[in-house]
Structure 1
Amino acid sequence: MAGMATHVITGAGSGIGAAVARRLHERGDDLVLHARDAGRAKELAAAFPGARTLVGDLSEPDRLSWAFSHQTLPDRVDSLLHIAGVVDLGPVGELTPKTWHHQLDVNLIAPAELTRQLLPQLRAAHGHVVFVNSGAGLNAHAEWSAYAASKHGLKALADALREEEHGNGVRVTSVYPGRTASPMQAKIHHQEGKPYDPSRWIDPESVATAILTSLDLPRDAEINDLTVRPGR
């Protein structure tokens, strides 16, 4: 991606998203950072000087088009990086529709809608859509049904989008990180009732490296699926 590329990033506030945003910011690329509200947007703009923000609540995907209609969308998008996500564990016998809806809305329907909103710009730039999925997008374990369903769905979204947009020069990559040291991981451990030791899990910087590798790959090749596992 030579020259000044423009990246739209969700989840830039922490974990993998923050690591990716920092790396792209350091190399001088243009960032458009998604935020759920104006307060978060202000924090992100302060953390990444020169970055633009895009405000909309991913937990209300039906309202995103309305929110975006009151803002200026970037006229060029070289990459759309879907990194935001939510997780709530529990057995099927206890998960309520509200919990299901929240994870499906944030992890699956919002990425679909954000992609739809920015597809014209992605096509024009022959851009790249990266979905940060999860090991749970390939295997569902006890207590993980709703989250894993949202991530299995995200794989389906990516696979269909890749086939649809191939002829338009849009590349699509799914990244499946194993457990990564992040605030989300701390929450998962709390829900599992286990002590949290970040040194046991993948450093977000390592996942960021994998994501940048897929972005920077020469145009003759495309990484479709990339699984990143803890190495220790």
Structure 2
Amino acid sequence: MYCVNCGVKLADTEKKCPLCQTIVYHPDIVRKEEEHWYPQGKYPVEKGGSRFPLIFISVMFLISILVVLLLDWQLNQAIIWSGFVIGAVLTAYVILVLPVWFKKPNPVILAPCTFGTIGVYLLYINLASGGAWFLSFAFPVVGGIGLIVTAFIALLRYVRRGKLYIFGGTMIALGAFMLLVEFLMNYTFERSHFIGWSLYPLTILVLLGGMLIFLAINHPAREMMERKFFI
């Protein structure tokens, strides 16, 4: 039996079409109380995904850490090089796997956690290798870029308007941050005090950021760009 309105195939038990709600009547067909072909009422709620893949991946990470640790101890009777590998594995786990454990991960929280993990790993490398570059270079660089990225994500997430201001301001901040990176490199590693390569990204990012802010202020120019690029 088919619906006379939309043509959907119907079971003998259907009293109306589940698609267009047209009343079904056929004098020659005796209706039977059987299971309906289509769900009645609300659609079934999909259950959450299985955690088994995440557990399996976590176990693989743990096994790789144990294998590297045991191999280093067997060869050297001490923890020498395995710390670098374990630190890299844990950092990758925090960045790639940890966010998947949450149903609705908040990037405003995950971003500083990611940069904090990278900072701790760099601190371990600095201490294990006997370096003196963490406080004067790695810490301010990782901390600075972490603050910029976290602020950018937070503004995009919680501020509904002014997206062009946010993108433009972030580009200008990154351009200025390049000057700080080169200065810290010269100071920490005793290189030339001349500011060179950072001027190129500074110029490009400031120009792009300034253009976005100009478009945010100038509505006619922004509308013209939207029409030109079909935005």
User: Normalising TM by the smaller chain, what interval?
Assistant: under 0.3
| Larger RCO of the pair (alpha carbons < 8 Å, separation 6+) | 1
More strand by share: 1
More helix by share: 2
User: TM-score, normalization: structure 1?
Assistant: 0.26
Larger radius of gyration: 2
